[in-house]
Amino acid sequence: MIKLYTAKATAKGGRDGVVTSGDGKLKLNLSMPKELYGEGKEGTNPEQLFAAAYAACFDNALNIVAKQKHLQIESEITAEVSIGQEAGGFGLSVTITGKITGVGVEEAYGLMESAHIVCPYSKAIMGNVDVTLTLAEDKNQVLNRETA
C-alpha cells in the first residue's frame, strides 16, 4: 500500500479517559456506557467513534460507486456498531442502513453491495465482524453480509 494520509490519535485512561488526535483538532472525553456497566457520564465511546467513521467512509464509497456508474444519487448512511460477548471475550457487529434517493430499490441494494466491497472500513473488518446492509425505506429486504 502507498500511504496517502495517516491519522494519529492517542487515548489515555481507556474507556473512561480522553482521546486526542495528533493534530489537536479532536479531543474527546470517553465514558463507559451504562450498558457496559459504566456510569454513563458525559462523553463518547469507541463504538460511537467507529460508527461515525464507518458511516462517513461507507457513504463516500457509495457515492464513488454511484458516480462510476453515472448515477446521480443522494445518500445518508447510518452505522450501528454493537459490542457484545462472544466465545473468548467481546466482539462487534455492524448494521449499515442506507437512505438512497435517485435510484430504485434493487439498484440501491446493488450500490450498497458494491460500496461494501470498496469501502476501506468494510475491507478492514471483513472476515472478523458480521455486517448487515439494509435500506431505510425497505426494512423488509435485508442484505446479510456474513463476513465473520
Q: For residues 40 and 31, is the Cβ–Cβ distance under 8 A?
A: yes
- Backbone phi, psi, residue 20, to 5°: -135, 140
Query: Domain residue spans in the chain?
Result: 1-44, 46-145
Write out the H or E segment, with its range, that includes residue 109: helix 105-118
Evaluate whether the domain defined by 1-44 bears CATH number 1.10.1660.10: no
Mean pLDDT split into 10-residue runs, the chain, 148 residues: 94 94 95 84 92 98 98 97 92 95 94 97 94 81 54
Coil, helix or strand for 13?
coil
Is the entire prediction scored with pTM above 0.75?
yes
Which residues partner with 141 through β-bridges?
none
Estimate the share of the chain in helix, then strand, then coil, as percent rounded to the nearest 5. Answer: 35, 35, 30
- May I ask the CATH architecture of the domain 46-145? 2-Layer Sandwich (3.30)
